[in-house]
Amino acid sequence: MQDCLNEVSNVLDLFDCKYEKVDVDDEGTFEGYASVFNNKDLGNDVIRKGAFADTLMNKTPKQIKLLYQHKTDEPIGVVDSIEEDNKGLKIKGRLALGTQRGKEVYEFMKMGALDSMSIGYRINQDGYKYDDKNKRRIIKSVDLMEVSMVTFPMNPKATISKVKNADIEDGIVTKRELEKLLRDSGIFSTTLCVHTASMLYKSCNKEQRDVVEGCKQLLNTIKH
């Protein structure tokens, strides 16, 4: 069976299915936006691009704490990278899977039950101005202290976009669909379908929409 799985991997390479190998060290990693610029959150705050510039200049990513529900006594991992882009504050983090809370959060994130982030920061009077006309606070500069995985974010657009070994985007192929595709080919046994589908599911980059088409091409190649 291993030879067959190796052949599947080789053929996928030939068809440029653009899959990425899952490294064990990547377990528990995720990325997304902890804050989104220029939209009013539920507290009537609007964060402008550049608000995190001082923090990013003066702090390393790991100095910005990764917490659960803003609880200072519940760190759940580390921030590996953080940067501002045109959309917002983009982060890549890693959960501590050796801890009970880290494992729980990872499972919830993979399921999509926990898919939002929120930030904790300090701000002085020079860091914001109040817009009386639109009844909102415009935030220009903050001292970012922490990023939290939360159930209900202050900014609904601050979401997790990718979790390693998980699908959180609608419309992406599932493991069961891959098994069915392999079974329908009539060339794999039931057991081999299950193992092969598992391998493909774990290996393929979930952001690529051509996984199914690549598998169909693969099966046609095997048939011939």
Who contacts 135 (Cβ-Cβ below 8 Å, separation ≥6)?
44
Domain that holds residue 75: 24-163
3-state SS assignment for residue 156: coil
Q: CA nearest 156: which of 67, 77, 43?
A: 43
| CATH code for the domain of 82 | 3.20.16.10
Q: Total structural domains in the chain?
A: 2
**Residue after which a domain boundary falls, among 134, 163, 192:** 163
> Is the Cβ–Cβ distance between 66 and 102 less than 8 Å?
no
C-alpha 178/C-alpha 19 separation (Å) is 15
Per-residue pLDDT, 189? 73
Per-residue pLDDT, 187? 63
Q: Catalytic residues, which ones?
A: 70, 118, 146
14 and 103 share a domain? Answer: no
Backbone angles phi, psi at 21, to 5 degrees: -65, 140
158 and 189 share a domain? Answer: no
Question: What string of pLDDT tens digits covers the 224 residues of the chain?
Answer: 455 544 454 444 433 333 333 333 578 899 999 999 999 999 999 999 999 999 999 999 999 999 999 999 999 999 999 999 999 999 999 999 999 999 999 999 988 889 999 999 999 989 999 999 889 999 999 999 999 999 999 998 888 877 866 544 444 455 666 666 676 666 667 777 777 777 766 655 444 445 555 665 666 666 56
Per-residue pLDDT, 167? 45
The 3-class SS string of 75-125 reads: EEEEEEEEEECCCEEEEEEEECCCCHHHHHHHHHHHHCCCCEEEEEEECCH
> Is the Cβ–Cβ distance between 48 and 159 less than 8 Å?
no
